[in-house]
Structure 1
Amino acid sequence: MNFRSDNEVGAHPSVIEAVSRAFSSGSAFSYGADDWTQRVERRLRELFDKPDLVAFPVVTGTAANGLALACCTPPWGAIFCHPTAHIAAEETGAPEFYTAGARLFRIDGAEGKVDPVKLAQALAQPVYGVPHFPQPAAVSITQATECGTVYAPEEVAAIATSTHRHGLKLHMDGARFANAVAYVGCSPAELSWKAGVDVLSFGATKNGVMAAEAVVFFNAELARDFAYRSKRGGHLLSKMRLVSAQLDAYLTDGLWLDNARHANTMARRLVAGLTPLKGTQLMYPVDANEIFVVMPAHMHDALQDGGAKYHPWPSDRPGERAFRLVTAFDTDPADVDRFLSIAKSA
């Protein structure tokens, strides 16, 4: 009953097999010139219905975000994001490092989403061309958010409108992009470039691969320096097929979306069983595969004694005990049912 994180689970058998095949089939071109890397870009072009898309594999989401933002932002630039965004709260200054000095400015909003009105107000400040201030360069949104909620395509479009009106670029941290697409039920294109996203950190590690993400540029001009930034930042692997083979399998026969659908379904199953129980309360809507829930102490204690694993989470209200549960591509329905059985019996 491990609901601590989708980072803790293993990899899908198809991904493991693909990596094994890539390294048992002899030699291959290095530094991303291999067949797997080229095929991944073709698959992404088909997936997003964007023939001129440019994509680069990287090993971590932090690198994907930092390198993507560095292509949008000069060292004196300003990046706008939600206070809970991974780039602001959990990346140890990586965006500032990769951009060589850009600053992050937090724009609040309910349920982990950037408030478009507050963003528009921030972008309207008279700082453009004034050398005393960081120059607005990019907006970053997280899909799904760090609160487990999902931006609808029209919400992304509203943010993109303000972003582009002032000449900024829109970055999407899509560590759980698959879960967002599975929830909304639209095409990947409708939730990204058709809504105004310029560059996407396309996540896979949380959804069934070993260690692989892709930086996807819908505006190819932004990618002109990426290869140099990637090499300088230590992310141009000599045996890039190690990463690309994972993504190749992930993008084959809809595996990426099937995995996300299962994770989302398991989250809904947990919610359906938890919310009727006395003393439980959801902190946010559950759109994807993360659940933030308040539960009474006796229920938490019983679950811990029963072997359930999940993280405590901060709550704004004194004395309230909140927790985060995360489902994954391989969450066993039997574990969900066992968790709920213990909770109901507490």
Structure 2
Amino acid sequence: MFFASDNAGAAHPKVMQRVMDANDGYAMPYGADPIMDEVRGKIREIFEAPEAAVYLVSTGTAANVLALACLCKPWETIFCSEVAHIQEDECNAPEFYSGAKLSLVSGGDKMTADALRARIEMENTRGVHGPQRGPVSITQVTERGSLYSLEELNALTEVAKSYDLPVHLDGARFANALVALGCSAAEMTWKAGVDAVSFGGTKNGCLGVEAVVLFDPEKAWEFELRRKRGAHLFSKHRYLSAQMAGYLEGGTWLQTARAANENCAHLAKGLQQKGAEFLHPPQANMIFARFPRHLHQRLHQAGAVYYMWGCTLEGDDPDEMLAARFVCDWSITTDQINQFLSHF
């Protein structure tokens, strides 16, 4: 009954096996291992981008901030949702690595084209005294579990391109969004106007690996320098390569994402039947729901693990409605979900 996060679940056996296989003998360090050639080719195939620059790092924060640093200058500002992952969960790492500031686009979990345009118009109006306009960053899946449709993505990138601004896609849950939308990786990225993407693995069955895909190969050398300077170039890189190879092998990354989304749909249906109120539509593998305090207390006493959202279990009113976040990973079973629901 563990719903705290999808980065707390097990790694997929295919990922583990490839790591074990890679542990035999010797391999060149720093990404010169032969497995990385396999990974690079496979990711280019998945994204239908034969010229893309592909790199691996160990964390999603590193993937996001190094990619963003390649897209902007330190006197620019990065436009993102007010609840974007780079705003809520990365401890000012985007600012630290890029030197740029964040400009928040109001409107809730998802930016709209109109709100983005209005926020862009607010900047670059004070000449040398203010920040210059920089890249747009989109979190997909959003931090509230919702999705940008392809139409919404295209609308945002059209606004960005009208100001000649590059676009970054934060894809820690990239695969979950992809299978939910039923589109291709290319359609959700460069065909929609995205210039760089962090292609997540850690939250979807890997031990700890994320890919950065730069659709402009001219950014490759800068990324390599920034990765080294930022202390994110792995020495024994083959263990990153092996994880990603196992993740991609036979479409494992799609299978795990589909399983996580289906688990979430099953949980959402059960919560709805129990009378829970949803704060946001659960469109991938994350749910924000509200129900009475006494039910939360009962669930935690039974061993359920999940995050309360902006509140605590303590309080005098057992019927007060409290919000919580639930995240499903690929490995949780239907029986575990049903066990959780049986405590309502």
> So what's the TM-score if we normalise by structure 1?
0.95
- Asked if residue 281 in structure 1 is aligned to residue 282 in structure 2, the reply is no
Question: What corresponds to 2:164 in structure 1?
Answer: 167
Equivalent runs, 1:1-346 vs 2, <5 Å: 1-24=1-24, 26-99=25-98, 101-110=99-108, 112-125=109-122, 127=124, 130-278=127-275, 280-314=276-310, 320-343=321-344
Aligned position for 2:317: none
Instruction: Show structure 1 runs of 4+ deviating over 2 A.
Output: 221-224
Q: Shift of residue 222 of structure 1?
A: 2.9
Read off the aligned partner of 1:194 and give its amino acid letter.
K
Q: Letter of the 1:305 partner, please give it.
A: Q
**Quick check: 2:293–2:321 contact (8 Å CA) kept in 1?**
no
Using the aligned pairs only, state the percent identity: 44
Q: Distance in 1 between matches of 2:95 and 2:328?
A: 31
Q: CA deviation at 1:129?
A: 8.4
Contact 1:48 1:189 (8 Å CA) reproduced: yes
1:297-334 CA distances to partner (integer Å, 9 max, x unpaired)? 1211221122111110027xxx5410011100101110
Q: In 2, distance between residues paired with 1:51 and 1:29?
A: 24
Q: Does the residue aligned with 2:26 lie in a helix, a strand or coil? A: coil
User: In structure 1, what is the Cα distance between the partners aligned to 2:125 and 2:34?
Assistant: 44
Q: What one-letter code is carried by the residue in structure 2 that aligns with 1:240?
A: H
Displacement of 1:122: 1.8
> Aligned partner of 2:295: which letter?
M
For residue 269 of structure 2, give the secondary structure of its aligned residue in structure 1: helix
2:342 alignment partner, SS class: helix
Displacement after TM superposition at 1:221 (Å):
2.3
* Secondary structure of 1:256's aligned partner: helix
1:35 CA displacement: 0.8
Shift of 1:121: 1.3
User: In 2 relative to 1, CA 128–194 (structure 1 residues): closer, same or farther, beyond 3 Å?
Assistant: farther
| Alignment partners' CA distance in 1, 2:234 and 2:296 | 44
TM-superposed deviation, 1:128:
6.2
- Conservation of the 8 A alpha-carbon contact between 1:77 and 1:102: yes
In 2, the alpha carbon distance for the partners of 1:46 and 1:283 equals: 38
In the TM superposition, residue 276 of structure 1 has moved relative to its aligned partner by: 2.3
- What is the CA–CA distance in structure 1 between the aligned matches of 2:92 and 2:220, rounded to whole Å? 22
Q: Distance in 2 between matches of 1:54 and 1:222?
A: 8
Rounded Cα–Cα distance in structure 2 between residues aligned with 1:131 and 1:270 = 52
Note if contact 1:128-1:136 (Cα within 8 Å) is conserved in structure 2. Answer: no
Alignment gaps of 5+ in structure 1: none
Q: Which amino acid aligns with 2:37?
A: Q
The code of the aligned residue for 2:262 comes to T
